[in-house]
Structure 1
Amino acid sequence: MSDTHKQLIEKVNASFEQNQPERFLDMCAENVTWRMAGHAVQEGKAAVRMASMGDMEPPKININSIISDGDRAACYGDMTMKDKDGSEAEFDYCDIYKFEGEKIVDLTSFMSKRGAESCEAESSE
Structure 2
Amino acid sequence: MNEFEKFLREINRAFSEGDTQYLLENVTDDFCWFIVGEKTVSGKTEFSEALEQMRQLPPMKIEIDNIIMEGNSASVEGKVTGKNKNGQKKHFGFCDLYRVTNPAAPKISEMTSFVIDLSKHKLYKESC
- After TM superposition, the score normalised by the length of structure 1 is 0.85
How many corresponding residue pairs? 116
Query: Where do 1:79-94 residues align within 5 Å?
Result: 79-94=80-95
Q: Which residue of 2 aligns with 1:59?
A: 60
Q: Which residue of 1 aligns with 2:74?
A: 73
1:5-62 CA distance string (max 9 Å, x none): 2111101111122221221111111110001112221111010111122412221010
Give the % identical residues.
Answer: 27
Quote the Cα distance in structure 2 between the aligned partners of 1:97 and 1:47.
18
| 1:106 corresponds to 2:107 | no
Query: Which stretch of structure 1 is more off in the superposition, 70-79 or 33-42?
Result: 33-42
Quote the Cα distance in structure 2 between the aligned partners of 1:92 and 1:56.
18
| Counterpart secondary structure, 1:12 | helix
Q: CA deviation at 1:84?
A: 4.3
The answer to whether the 8 Å contact 1:19/1:57 transfers is no
- After TM superposition, the score normalised by the length of structure 2 is 0.83
Gaps of 5+ in 1: 118-125
| Counterpart secondary structure, 2:30 | strand
Quote the Cα distance in structure 2 between the aligned partners of 1:60 and 1:85.
17
Letter in 1 for 2:117: K
Letter in 1 for 2:40: V
Q: CA deviation at 1:76?
A: 0.3
More helix by share: 2
Quote the Cα distance in structure 2 between the aligned partners of 1:3 and 1:98.
17
Aligned alpha-carbon RMSD (Å): 1.6
Gaps of 5+ in 2: 122-128
